[in-house]
Every structure is written in structure tokens, then in C-alpha cells.
Structure 1
Amino acid sequence: MSRISALVVARNEAERLPGCLDALAPADEIVVVLDRSTDGSLAIAWGRAQRVVEGEWAMEGDRRNAGIEACTGDWILEVDADERVPPELWAEIRRVAETSAHGFHRVRIDNYVGDRLIRGGWAGSFGTTSKPVLFRRGAKRWRAQRVHPGIDLRGTEGAKITAHGIHHALDRDISDMLRRLDRYSSAKAADLIDSGNIGSLPDNLRRFVSRFFKSLVSRGGWREGGWGVLLAFCTGLFPLLSHLKARLEPEKHGGRRADAPS
């Protein structure tokens, strides 16, 4: 029988962590990685998890890799503290773990803003409707980036799990969504500065238009009414705002002004 490790990487998530970990009880092992947490998350994690890893990581990819390395199961299910795995999804996860010959599977993600399920419009780095969160140990590795790091996957991709989805409490309300845009773009600005290539304003203006269109039209955001327009705006603005922060305020994100003398 294949063993499944459930992995949660969190920082100061004492409010959300209990519900997340309780929903992971069917796993054979729960591993929690805590990054500089000071709010009681540690006691919550030890009350429900088999393994807890504490540390300090500047890069999201590095702390996620630390969690993957701590897992001992044949398969790993990687979720965030604001996500819940419903009981009906566990039966499908078990079935896949026992029968799949592939390296990884994408799982449907149901994104909520408050109590509202928003199905259409997710695109780019601002949200997704499926992620490769179920994978064999050794099949997934994150890259060293601060926000939405890239991933390297090994093995073939199996069928997407869509009958049931992970409940993702992404934002509490519109203000929370805008605060997330601010956080994400600040972290991305730092990544751009580190890369030595922040891009150009014209290119990022074009990206704003193309991502807005993709979110609103191609990904069905128009079906969500005003919520879809808001989501398209944030999706398009993310790369543009990241570029502008890196260009105009690099000193706030670990760099030097692009127009400053060398």
C-alpha cells in the first residue's frame, strides 16, 4: 500500500492551520514547515503533525523543498494553510496513489473570495484552477524564487483529478485581494532585481493588456461579472506593478534605482 505524506508550508497561520491540518488527517503522515512563525503555529502543528520543520528561508522555493525533503511517503500531497482537502477528494487521491504509474497529477483548485466561489478568470501568477500538488517523492522540485517559484517535474503527467477540488480560501474580500497583489508584486520585484533583468515598460504594458484579455475572455472571467473584471485587472497589473517597483523603488526591494548613476 502506497503511503501518502501531506505537506503544509506556512508562516504565522495559527488561524487557518487547525482546519487545514484536520482535513489532512487521512494522510499517513503530516509534515509542517514553519518559516519564522511567532503566532502559536508551532504548538498547533505539533498537536496534529508527525514532523515539524522550523527555519528561516528567504526564498519560497527553498522552504518548500525543505518540506518535500522531510516527507517519507511514496506520494506527497502539497497544500497551503488556506486550503482544505474535502473528505470526498481523499478517496480519489488514494485511488490514484495505488494505481498510477505516473510521476505527478494536477488537482482541481476551487478558489474562493470570502464565501464566493469564482471559477473563471484565473490566469498568470495570480491564481490557478489546477496545480500539480500530488506527486511521487522525488518528482517535484521548486526553484529558488520568492513568489510563485517555478517547478521542475520528473516523470510523466497523469490524468487531472477533477471530480472534486481543493477548497482554497484565497482572499477574504476585495481589500484582501489588493493587499495580496501588493505583497506578490513586491516579492516579484525582488526576484526581477536578483535576475538582473527587470524588463521594459513597453513590454510590461503589453503584458498587462494580454493578461487582462486572457483572464477576462480566454479564461472565462466575463462569466463572473464585476468579479471577473476585478480579477482580470489584478492579473494584468501583477507583472506591470512588479516591473515598476523594481524600476522606480529598487532600494525597497534590495536593489538600486534603474536611472541612478553607477
Structure 2
Amino acid sequence: MPRPGPRISALVVARNEQSRLPACLATLAAADEVVVVLDRSTDASAEIARAHGARLLEGGWELEGERRNAGIAACTGDWILEVDADERVPPALWAEIRRVAAASPHAFHRVRIDNYVGDRLILHGWGGSFGTTLKPILFRRGAKRWRGQRVHPGLDWTGTEGERITAQGIRHELDRDISDMLRRLDKYSSAKAADMLAAGRIGSLPDNLRRCVSRWIKCYVGRKGYKEGGWGLLIALCAGLFPLLSHLKARLEPERHRPNPRG
């Protein structure tokens, strides 16, 4: 039976996420449509998506922005909720999403993100391109477009931002442990180095040293990472190191990170 109000598509963009995808898709049953984009996946993700009744789009995209735009274009709902395979949408949040979508005159809304490392909820200290507690992931079809970058691509919007959905949040199983967090830092900084080389702008060492320090202060002090003890210190260090590592990889190892002509 059709649900009252506007149709909502849930969009998941993933690559080889067979261990996380089932739990994610199980929390998207309240959507009117589920679209899964698989980028060069070689595991059982496609079979898992089909088993959950999702529409599947498979392909290969060098840039994160391109693959996400392909997923948005495949959605048919009036509104789109864009989540990652490591995110879970609880029932109470679905009720808030439907309430907002039914009444909103705006183009998009930010949703609260609850970040977990293992079983530990970490509320403070996120930022500096290493984590966020709010994301603009609920939007009208046609309102959102990602830019062509490999990591944390920018966004272009058509329309205005509405109220933030903060009474309920998405459970984001961001990292399994400290080693997983450090692997993410390595992956992100390599992708950012490729973006910098592609743009022909890698910046200077002094500028990126200043960014390293300012991001550490912003996360640990401004975003109250100190309230999380050692975890807040670690997150602030990773956030600070991200631009510095990206610069050093692009500067010292350009042959390892320079994108091919297609990407």
C-alpha cells in the first residue's frame, strides 16, 4: 500500500561492502524506493542488494562525485535520503524524515549523525574533513549535485536549506577500532593527494602545517574533543594530519598518487 505524503528514495553508494550492507538495507525498509549504486564491486554486495528488493546500478567511476550523481539520477522519489553502507536509519528517525518531507518548502535538510568507533558513541571533536555530526542528506530530487572530486567532494545546491533534523540521528559505524581509523586517514589522504595533483594545486608546506595545527585546535578545543579524553585527542590529531599528509603525499610521491588521464 502506498504511504501517504511525498515519495522518499533511499540511496546507498558502496564498494565491496558485503559485511555492512545487510544491516544498512534492513533499516531502509521504510523508504518507498531503495537504490544501491555499486562501484566496481567484486564481492556479494549485488546479491545482497537484490535480496533486499533494491534497484541496482553497477558501474565504475573514478570520482566519488560522479558515482553519487549517478545514484541521485537513478532515484525517482520526490525526496532522496542519501546514506552510506556503514550508516543505520532507526525507525524514530524515519518518522522525523517523513514529517519534515511532508511539510517542508525547502530544498534540503541536514540530519544528525551519531558516530561510533566500535561500540563507543563519540559525540565531540569531529571535524576537519575527518568526521561530521550533521550532513545534508535529505533533499528534493534535482536539488543536489556533487562536484567531481575523489574525497569529500563539494556540493552545489538548487534551493534553500530547511530545519535541521536533530531530535533523532543516524547511527554511523564509522570505524571499527583505532587501526581502522588510521587506515581511513591513509585512504582519505591518498585520494586528496590525487585531487590536488589533478587540480595542479598542492599548496605549500608552511600553509599545510598551519592547517594541521588550526584543525587540531578546532576539533580538540572548539568542537570539545577534550570531553572524549584520549579518543578526542586521537580524532583531533587525525583531522589535523589529513591536509598535511595529503600535501606530503602529493609533494613527495606524485608518481604514486597522480591520477590517470581518465580520472
Q: TM-score range by the shorter chain?
A: over 0.9
Shift in Å, 1:88: 0.6
Structure 1 segments of 4 or more deviating over 4 A? none
Counterpart-to-counterpart distance in 2, 1:40 and 1:79: 19
Query: Is 1:154 aligned to 2:158, yes or no?
Result: yes
| Counterpart residue type for residue 8 of structure 2 | I
Residue 11 of structure 2 aligns with which residue?
Answer: 7
Counterpart-to-counterpart distance in 1, 2:55 and 2:78: 16
Q: Secondary structure at the match of 1:246?
A: helix
Residue 225 of structure 1 aligns with which residue?
Answer: 229
Across the two proteins, how many residue pairs are aligned to each other? 255
Residue 145 of structure 2 aligns with which residue?
Answer: 141
What does 1:63-78 correspond to in 2, within 5 Å?
A: 63-78=67-82
Is 1:31–1:49's contact at 8 Å kept on the other side of the alignment?
A: no
Residue 55 of structure 2 aligns with which residue?
Answer: 51
RMSD, matched Cα: 0.7
Q: Secondary structure at the match of 2:66?
A: helix
The counterpart of 2:125, out of the listed 121, 142, 150, is: 121
Residue 34 of structure 1 aligns with which residue?
Answer: 38
Q: Secondary structure at the match of 1:21?
A: helix
Q: Secondary structure at the match of 1:57?
A: coil
Query: 1:156-184, CA deviations, whole angstroms, 9 ceiling, x for partnerless residues?
Result: 11000000100000000000000000000
Shift in Å, 1:124: 1.6
Query: Is 1:200 aligned to 2:204, yes or no?
Result: yes
Residue 114 of structure 2 aligns with which residue?
Answer: 110
Query: 1:91-137, CA deviations, whole angstroms, 9 ceiling, x for partnerless residues?
Result: 00000111100000000000000000001000121000000000000
Counterpart-to-counterpart distance in 1, 2:228 and 2:68: 33
Counterpart-to-counterpart distance in 1, 2:53 and 2:238: 35
Counterpart-to-counterpart distance in 2, 1:52 and 1:174: 33
| Counterpart residue type for residue 233 of structure 1 | L
Shift in Å, 1:14: 0.4
| Counterpart residue type for residue 210 of structure 1 | S
Residue 27 of structure 2 aligns with which residue?
Answer: 23
Counterpart-to-counterpart distance in 2, 1:53 and 1:141: 18
Give the % identical residues.
75
Residue 186 of structure 1 aligns with which residue?
Answer: 190
Counterpart-to-counterpart distance in 1, 2:15 and 2:113: 21
Shift in Å, 1:51: 1.3
Query: 1:197-228, CA deviations, whole angstroms, 9 ceiling, x for partnerless residues?
Result: 10000000000010000000000101000000
Counterpart-to-counterpart distance in 2, 1:81 and 1:94: 21
Residue 96 of structure 1 aligns with which residue?
Answer: 100
Counterpart-to-counterpart distance in 1, 2:71 and 2:52: 16
Shift in Å, 1:146: 0.4
TM-score by length of 2: 0.96
Counterpart-to-counterpart distance in 2, 1:241 and 1:254: 15
Counterpart-to-counterpart distance in 2, 1:96 and 1:133: 13
Shift in Å, 1:50: 3.6
Counterpart-to-counterpart distance in 1, 2:53 and 2:236: 38
Residue 258 of structure 1 aligns with which residue?
Answer: none
Counterpart-to-counterpart distance in 1, 2:85 and 2:151: 16
Counterpart-to-counterpart distance in 1, 2:159 and 2:33: 23
Q: Secondary structure at the match of 1:110?
A: strand
Shift in Å, 1:46: 0.9
| Counterpart residue type for residue 179 of structure 1 | R
Q: Secondary structure at the match of 1:198?
A: coil
| Counterpart residue type for residue 120 of structure 2 | R
Could you tell me which runs of 5 or more consecutive residues in structure 1 were left unpaired when the two chains were aligned.
Answer: 256-262
Query: Is 1:244 aligned to 2:251, yes or no?
Result: no
Could you tell me which runs of 5 or more consecutive residues in structure 2 were left unpaired when the two chains were aligned.
Answer: none
